[in-house]
Amino acid sequence: MGTVTLIYGNEIQTMVQRLTVATGALASLHPDDTVVIKPNLLVSRREWVGVNTDPRVVEALVKVIKEKGVRRITIGDGSGMGYSATKAFQICGYTDLAQRYGLRLVDLERDRFVKQRVPIDGPFKTLEVAQTVLECNVFINVPLMKAHSAALITCSLKNLKGVMPREMKTAFHRVDLHRAIAQLASVLSPDLILVDGLQGNLSSESGHNPVAMETMLMGTNPVEVDSVVADMLGYAPRAIRHIAHSADAGLGTCDLGQITIRALNRPSRDERFVPPPHYTKRFPCSISAEGACCTCLGNLIFALERLHEKGLLSKEQHFFAGQKPSTSSNSKEMRFVIGQCAVKYENADVIVDNCPPTANTIYRRVASAIRRD
């Protein structure tokens, strides 16, 4: 039976210290250990709160690790399509953090990659993983808990995608994403997971709608940690298919009755988050976005939310995005192609062909076309 420990509040340093003491998680660290911390740095833009891991959480963790005398600490990640971890380090404050504590920063997309044989069934026989992560002896996964358009939620399991080369991250969206995530979890398991649940997002992985959640979680098994997070975000863990596949592959349990959930304090408000309707049911228009990368779909959803607020969406509109969007035979609808991958829809009325298009570009191009119509 696994244990997931959680704490509520906003006192970041105290929360991280209490979690590590209560779990004994870092008690065996040795000064000669090589530690890699992997946050979630999906975007490299100014509006990153609720999308990227808060550097204050990583700083609190670094302080605890430094108290053990550990000298070699690396922060590493690779960003989402259209973004750069190198820029995210700068914009979010990780560069400053690294200078103050003598840390190494690694943009994992620029790392060397090592092929790993996948021991469980799914779309891949091998996966490539950044050498920096494979060579460390303590790997700490520090994801943010938030919604995800294709996977419903993203936390410690999906955060692992950042250790792979860009082509492979994109390839995950062309196959069964949920099984592919389980396969990745079968080749790389963290020694510790610290979930940043201070401010997440309930509508998409890359949107601009941070929601105060005021919590942090700690555990060692990603299936169990993510199952608790799924429950907190309003989903049955088995409804999150990558959690279910990982559990079925024997990587951990998603049965909440089998997980000891230990809260170190009580929340200041008794609030349960309610998941929004699936993006295909959230707007009056039709959306075909199979195979879209996180940033493409997240940006489209954010733009659609703004278009919907302005009353510009209707059931006569169809949006296509991603690497394999389903087709439509309705010739009467206004057709919008979002992102370079979907440009094969030559009869589209509007094409926004960047990779990925920003939410602002999508909004402006679509709004002006609808107003002209």
Residue 199 found at the interface with ligand SF4 (CB under 6 A): no
Q: Which span (49-57, 105-113, 261-269, 292-300) binds ligand SF4, by CB under 6 A?
A: 292-300
Closer to ligand SF4 by Cβ: residue 70 or 164: 164
Q: Where are the alpha helices (DSSP H) in the chain?
A: 12-23, 55-67, 85-92, 94-101, 131-135, 156-159, 166-172, 177-187, 222-232, 241-248, 279-282, 294-309, 359-372
Instruction: Give the closest residue to 339 by CA, choosing from 358, 327, 352.
Output: 352
**Three-class DSSP category at 297:** helix
CA angle 239, 243, 248 (to 5 degrees): 105
Residues 74-103 interacting with ligand SF4 (rule: CB under 6 A): 81
73's torsion region: left (phi>0), alpha (psi -120 to 50) or beta? beta
Query: What is the spatial distance between Cα 186 and Cα 174, in angstroms, rounded to a whole number?
Result: 20
Q: Which span (179-187, 205-213, 225-233, 291-299) binds ligand SF4, by CB under 6 A?
A: 291-299
Lookup: tokens for 164: 């792979």
Closer to ligand SF4 by Cβ: residue 249 or 292: 292
Residue 27 Cβ vs ligand SF4, minimum distance, rounded to whole Å = 42
Query: What is the spatial distance between Cα 318 and Cα 367, in angstroms, rounded to a whole number?
Result: 14
End-to-end Cα spacing for the chain: 59
Q: Binder to ligand SF4 among 39, 203, 356, 359 (CB under 6 A)?
A: 356
Residue 217 found at the interface with ligand SF4 (CB under 6 A): no
Closer to ligand SF4 by Cβ: residue 29 or 42: 42
Tell me the DSSP string of 138-154.
EEEEEPBPEEETTTEEE
Residue 339 found at the interface with ligand SF4 (CB under 6 A): yes
Closer to ligand SF4 by Cβ: residue 170 or 189: 170
Lookup: tokens for 313: 């969406």
Q: Binder to ligand SF4 among 202, 244, 293, 366 (CB under 6 A)?
A: 293
Residues 258-287 interacting with ligand SF4 (rule: CB under 6 A): none
Q: Binder to ligand SF4 among 17, 170, 358, 361 (CB under 6 A)?
A: 170
Closer to ligand SF4 by Cβ: residue 190 or 356: 356
Query: What is the spatial distance between Cα 178 and Cα 310, in angstroms, rounded to a whole number?
Result: 34
Q: Binder to ligand SF4 among 203, 295, 325, 350 (CB under 6 A)?
A: 295
Q: Which span (10-18, 63-71, 208-216, 293-301) binds ligand SF4, by CB under 6 A?
A: 293-301
Residue 170 Cβ vs ligand SF4, minimum distance, rounded to whole Å = 5
Q: Which span (97-105, 198-206, 271-279, 334-342) binds ligand SF4, by CB under 6 A?
A: 334-342
Tell me the DSSP string of 272-295.
---PPPPHHHHSSSEEE-TT--HH
Closer to ligand SF4 by Cβ: residue 204 or 227: 204
Residues 6+ apart with CB under 8 A from 192: 25, 26, 138, 139, 140, 141, 218, 220
Q: Binder to ligand SF4 among 340, 349, 361, 365 (CB under 6 A)?
A: 340
Sign of the Cα torsion 207, 108, 322, 173 reads negative
Q: Binder to ligand SF4 among 212, 236, 263, 355 (CB under 6 A)?
A: 355
- Residues within the interface to ligand SF4 (CB under 6 A): 81, 170, 292-293, 295-296, 322-323, 339-341, 355-356
